[in-house]
Amino acid sequence: MQVKEQIVSGQTAIGIEFGSTRIKAVLIGSDFAPLASGIHDWNNQLENGIWTYSEADIRNGLQACFADLMQQTERQYGVKLEKTGSIGISAMMHGYLAFDADMNLLVPFRTWRNTITKDAAEKLTECFSFNIPQRWSIAHLYQAILNQEPHVADVRFFTTLAGYVHYLLTGKKVLGIGDASGMFPIDPETKNYDAVMADQFDALTQGTALQQKLISLLPEIVPAGENAGVLTEAGAKLLDPTGTFAAGVPFCAPEGDAQTGMTATNSITPRTGNVSAGTSIFAMTVLEHNLKSLHREIDIVTTPEGAPVAMVHCNNCSSDLDAWVKMFGGLLKAAGSELSKPQLYDLLYSLAAEGDPDCSGIISYNYYSGEEITHLQAGKPLLMRAPESQFTVQNLMRSLVYSCMATLKIGMDILAEESVGLDRIYAHGGLFKTPLITQPTLAAVLGTDVTLMQSAGEGGAWGIALLAAYLNRSDRSETLRAYLQNRVFADQHQQTASPNPADQEGLAAYMKQYCEGLAAEHAAVAQSNRGE
């Protein structure tokens, strides 16, 4: 009855996150525990060499996900979801959604997964003396300028996916500081876009088709815990075409999936970090001091409060592993022994845990798309083994799990060389739903304890729901750090795995062969490109 009363009276919060392969909505109660969730599966498309999601897919996916949340809420509690205390929108960071003065999309959405901005990223990094990765929004804009694309002259606003969905629902062109930090560098003192770098960009683009000052094209940054708009009548109709869910709900600032991951794992203070793993994998380490050197493998973004974070982002994680699991599932089905998806993953992960620590020389490259850390402009999944390798399901599956984290290790080793300290690291995301092999593997990769919380599987949708709930805090002076520590995570159950020396030794041998074999991956990609 207490839960029903919370739902009916709107003493809840909703988080909606657009991930790479699914859109998820989570309804949380006053104790921050998830009450119900809605899910819609989707996937990007490669069109004319660009990884994208269509406008229709974005709108329809939002509706389908929210409809599922409403249905699940009514099914579980017998009441309709008609209101809530606050809403937050999160999505994959970076990418490029450019609009004209009437908010018409000028070119199809260019996602973070694209590696088509090499020239722009290198030029901007040199200009700013600050690492600009290829997936950042500013790299996409500048590459369009370098390519002399016709749409550039009409650009009057550009944003991320979270910023776009937030606009559709509220009419506000805003972002949280974390998502904004993946568009353009942030000044840690002003907690706004870096004005010096913005002037440098304006000077760099003078005389080009882009006639507007950069700052005028970027979303306004709204701090965590402040109102970032309300659900308009048009937004409510888009969200719920049945008219059941009412307009007027306040929104927190839209945030990136990296920031919701930090929130969902209570890792927004210095010397804490988290690893999010799904279609992509990235590690966030909150810094206590600036890095000594510029590293092209390391992004500098921010927490939801604006503190600097070293981000090791890898475009590729579980896609290749998922493909192998699907293939094994097809084999079992053909043999008359069909398993459910969770059962199949549990079985194969348990077999991976039995594999040799070095995978007996079976090396897997999980590159479905390009990867900046290993300097690949495109992807081509590749499996290599020596004739004497023990080619068992156990060793193959362990190699596939290793491959999900191998590129991440290359980047994290750079931070270790920079003496970046970590007191604790949290893991979350789909890869850790069955932690039997993935959690100890990550501990071996990082050389430190890895903790899973009971909420680890909820991911970013729960994280953005927490940021939405923070909007309605009673004590307006309470910081987000204090709010998470003292209210949300005070009684959270945790499960910690420490590095196993045998795993570390085996992984070291695997990584040596992995790095030596990267030349073959580069050759495969080059040959594929020549074939095209």
Between residues 89 and 278, the one the model is more confident about: 89
Query: What is the pLDDT averaged over residues 157-169?
Result: 98
Q: What is the mean pLDDT of the chain?
A: 94
pLDDT above 80 (res 531): no
DSSP for residue 89: E
At residue 113, the pLDDT reads 87
In this structure, the number of other CB atoms found within 10 A of the CB of residue 304 comes to: 30
Instruction: Give 428's pLDDT tier (boundaries 50, 70, 90).
Output: confident
Domains in the chain: boundaries: 45-62+87-255, 261-316+411-434+454-495, 319-404+501-531
**Percentage of residues in the chain with pLDDT exceeding 70?**
98
Print burial letters for 193-228: b (CB count within 10 Å at least 16), e (below 16).
bbeebbebbeebbeeeebeeebeebbbebbebbeeb
Of the listed ranges 101-105, 125-129, 173-177, 426-430, the least confidently predicted one is 426-430
In this structure, the number of other CB atoms found within 10 A of the CB of residue 283 comes to: 29
Task: Give tens-digit pLDDT for 29-76.
Answer: 999 999 999 999 999 999 999 999 999 999 999 999 999 999 999 999
Q: Name the residue among 472, 462, 474, 465 with its Cα closest to residue 87.
A: 465
Query: What is the pLDDT averaged over residues 154-174?
Result: 98
pLDDT above 80 (res 1): no
pLDDT above 70 (res 499): yes
Instruction: Give 458's pLDDT tier (boundaries 50, 70, 90).
Output: low
Query: What is the pLDDT averaged over residues 451-463?
Result: 76
At residue 183, the pLDDT reads 98
Task: Give tens-digit pLDDT for 444-455.
Answer: 999 988 988 766
Instruction: Give 265's pLDDT tier (boundaries 50, 70, 90).
Output: confident
Task: Give tens-digit pLDDT for 200-220.
Answer: 999 999 999 998 999 999 999
Three-class DSSP category at 356: coil
Task: Give tens-digit pLDDT for 363-387.
Answer: 999 999 899 899 998 899 999 999 9
Instruction: Give 103's pLDDT tier (boundaries 50, 70, 90).
Output: very high
pLDDT above 70 (res 456): no
CA distance 103 to 528: 38
Task: Give tens-digit pLDDT for 471-495.
Answer: 999 899 999 999 999 999 887 778 8
Element (H, E) at 263: helix 257-264
One-letter amino acid at 350 equals S
Task: Give tens-digit pLDDT for 120-146.
Answer: 999 999 999 999 999 999 999 999 999
Q: Is the dihedral of CA 195, 167, 66, 468 positive or negative?
A: positive
Q: Which residues contact 145 (CB under 8 A, 6 or more apart)?
A: 120, 152, 205, 208, 209, 210
At residue 455, the pLDDT reads 60
The most confident of the ranges 153-167, 412-426, 457-471 is: 153-167
| Contact status, residue 42 vs residue 22, Cβ threshold 8 Å | yes
Name the CATH superfamily housing domain 45-62+87-255.
Answer: ATPase, nucleotide binding domain (3.30.420.40)
- Whole-number Cα distances in Å, 309 to 20, 284, 285: 22, 6, 5
The single residue listed with the structure tokens 């893991």 is: 427
CA distance 333 to 455: 32
At residue 189, the pLDDT reads 92
CA distance 91 to 179: 9
Task: Give tens-digit pLDDT for 297-342.
Answer: 899 999 999 999 999 989 899 999 999 999 999 999 999 999 999 9
At residue 454, the pLDDT reads 66
At residue 469, the pLDDT reads 97
The single residue listed with the structure tokens 């059941």 is: 244
